[in-house]
Structures are given as structure tokens and as C-alpha cells.
Amino acid sequence: MSAHRVLGIETSCDDTSVAVLEDGRKLRSHLIAAQDLHRLYGGVVPELAARAHLELLPAMVRRALEEAGIAPHQLTGVAVTRAPGLVGSLVVGVAFARAYAYALGIPVVGVNHIEAHLHSATLEHGESRWPAIALVVSGGHSELVEVSGFGRYLWLGSTLDDAAGEAYDKVAKRLGLGFPGGPPLDALAAHGNPAAFDFPRPLRERPGYDFSFSGLKTAVATVLESCGPPPYSEPLLADVAASFQAAVVDSLATRTLRAVDDRGARALNLGGGVACNRGLRERLEAECRARDLPLRIPSPRLCADNAAMVALVGSWLLERGPQDEAGLEVVASLEETGLALTSPA
Ligand code: KG4
Ligand code: ZN
């Protein structure tokens, strides 16, 4: 039987990514262009992100095919992120994917970006055991989901306010660490005392699996204000970073492990940029070891926004046959996609 070769396209936010995945398993090429221009503005500027995707995509697709060693006509399908995300950025990706697939006479499917994060660990770790708990933590989302297979999701929890990565980015900005703030804050935290400040663990005593990070951000601001005007000393910044990180990791880990224990999970899968966090990895590694539970964390390129995970979910969708027009509809919010069901579908 001839190979299935799916071109994956991801343009939901500020990373342009293209991948070629063969037979749902073999990543033949994978390119990610992080749009550095947003650093100048301290956050993602939607209009600039959409323009940059438009400029980058044609050359990146050409290059991805070259690296994969295949010609366009050897592709058997195209998969593109269609939701959730910045509408202008999503429209660029979907319009490109539709035109490209039309020109080649091959099918195109729209992929839910969060569903792709739920399964990204599969690319390196193989098929998960079910049921699994998946924690997706990024700049836009903090989602805790029970996954019983492809398309079988029970939404357990989400953030009530800021996403975990958003809290990192905002606190990092206050500490003068630039954007995106997660990686430098994580690095700085390694040099500080995590017990220096007793930052709140919101919702800790409440049952359930939801997260909240906005109070934590305010608590950091209050501590800094009490220390007088900037610049702050390096040891103070490191202590604030370490204490902030301890609170975030504690919030994420307690809720995740509660879900693991309550739901009898047989694997824990992570996804999203915050899954790169050193503190979170260490804590979950120790807890999963104690439970003899497989912890499946993708490598950093596959944690962050990437087209490989889009091609993976796209391959599964293509196996199911043609999608209707609604499958390619661009939608900004996760809620509107109908994926995040809180009772079994
Ligand atoms: O998944 P991602 O690349 O894009 C979104 O869909 O948002 O996640 C980016 C987010 C940013 O908020 C970034 O600060 C955060 O992930 N991040 C981290 C780390 N690396 C990236 N947060 C904490 N620790 C890290 N090591
Ligand atoms: Zn993402």
C-alpha cells in the first residue's frame, strides 16, 4: 500500500510551522519559525502575526517538502489548524491550505489546535494507554482533560482567568525579563528560594480541577511594590521568580494529580509551551514515579505550537474520510468549537 503523506500547517498564533508526516508516525520534516518581531511590542500583535504567516508560508512549505525529499504531488492530504486562535492568523493558514490542496487535487482537513496538543506526546512516545489525563498549558490555555482515545474527551478543568503561560509572561514583564517570559523566568527561578514568599495557591481547597492564576499575578505585583521602585536586586528577583514558580507548579500539579487519582488514569500526557517548565517536569516526574504512571512529555519543539501535532491529528481525521465545510470553519475560542465537553459525548 502506498504511503500517506500529510502536510501539516500551524498558524494559530505567532509561530508559523509546517511539517510532513508519513503514515501518521514518521516525521519527514518539521519547520518552526518563531516570529521574533513581537518581542519589540512585549506581546503578540495580531495584525503583524497574520502578515508574517502570509509571508513565511510559501517558502516554508517548499523547504519542508525539500527536506522531506518528496514532491508536492506525492502528498496525500493537507491538515491545517482552524481553531482556536487569532482569527486573522487562522484565516491565513486555512486559506493557504485550501488553495494548496485544491491545486494538488487532494483532501484538506481542519484541526483543533487544543486537540492536537492533547495528542502531541504520541509523536515521540507512541500510542498512549487509556484513559489518560492530558494537561495542556500554554500562553492561551490551561486545560485538564480525560482522554479515552482519539475524539473521546471529558473536559475536567480549565483556567477561570489567566492561562498559566500568560501568568508567566505578565510576571516576567514586571520582573523586566522580556517576552515570552516563561523560559527566562524558569531559568531565574533556579537561582532563588522558592519559600522566600508565600504566594497564594488559588482554589486549592476547592474540589474540582479548575485553575486560577490572576490572584498570583497580583500578589507578585504587591510584593514588588512593597520593595520600592525598580531596579530590583538580582537575589530579590530570583526569590520572587522561584516563589512564583513554586505556586504555579503547585497549582498545576495538585489539580493534575487529583484528576489522575480520581479518574484512574493509566498515563499522564503533557502539551503546550509551559510543559517545558523545569519545575513542573521535576514535580510531575517525582509524583508519577511514585505512582508507577507513565509520564509522557514531548520534547520542547513538540510542546510548543507546532505543525507536527496538527499533521498527526489531521492524519487520523483523513483516515475517517472527507470532512464537511464546517470542519474548515475558523473559530477563535475553544468553547465555540464544542470540543471542551464537560460530560461524555
Ligand atoms: O504552546 P505555546 O508555544 O503557544 C501558545 O499556544 O500559547 O506556549 C507559549 C507559552 C508562553 O506563555 C511562554 O512564556 C510559555 O509557554 N513557556 C513557559 C516555558 N517555556 C515556554 N512557561 C514556563 N516555563 C517555561 N520553561
Ligand atoms: Zn498552543
Return the domain boundaries, the chain.
5-118+306-337, 127-299
What ligand 1 atom has the least distance to the C-alpha of 163?
12
Cβ of residue 131 lying under 6 Å from some atom of ligand 1: no
Is residue 77 scored above 70 in pLDDT?
Answer: yes
Confidence at residue 325, expressed as pLDDT on a 0 to 100 scale: 86
Is the fold of 5-118+306-337 the same as that of 127-299? yes
CATH number of 5-118+306-337: 3.30.420.40
Confidence at residue 36, expressed as pLDDT on a 0 to 100 scale: 84
Q: Please, which residues have CB less than 5 A from ligand 2, an ion?
A: 138, 305
Cβ of residue 315 lying under 6 Å from some atom of ligand 1: no
CATH number of 127-299: 3.30.420.40
Average pLDDT over residues 199-221: 92
Return the best residue to mutate from 138, 169, 306 for the ligand 1 pocket (most ligand atoms within 8 A of CB).
Answer: 138
Is residue 102 scored above 90 in pLDDT?
Answer: yes
Return the best residue to mutate from 11, 86, 168 for the ligand 1 pocket (most ligand atoms within 8 A of CB).
Answer: 168
Instruction: Report if pTM > 0.85.
Output: yes
| Residue pLDDT, tens place only, 104-150 | 999 999 999 999 999 999 999 999 999 999 999 999 999 999 999 99
| Residue pLDDT, tens place only, 285-327 | 999 999 999 999 999 999 999 999 999 999 999 999 989 888 9
Which H, E and C letters describe the chain, residue by residue? CCCCEEEEEECCCCEEEEEEEECCCEEEEEEEEECHHHHHHCCCCHHHHHHHHHHHHHHHHHHHHHHHCCCHHHCCEEEEEEECCCHHHHHHHHHHHHHHHHHHCCCEEEEEHHHHHHHCCHHHHCCCCCCEEEEEECCCCEEEEEEEECCEEEEEEEECCCCHHHHHHHHHHHCCCCCCCHHHHHHHHCCCCCCCCCCCCCCCCCCCCCECCHHHHHHHHHHHHHCCCCCCCHHHHHHHHHHHHHHHHHHHHHHHHHHHHHHCCCEEEEECHHHHCHHHHHHHHHHHHHHCCCEECCCHHHHCCCHHHHHHHHHHHHHCCCCCHHHHCCCCCHHHHCCCCCCCC
Confidence at residue 1, expressed as pLDDT on a 0 to 100 scale: 57
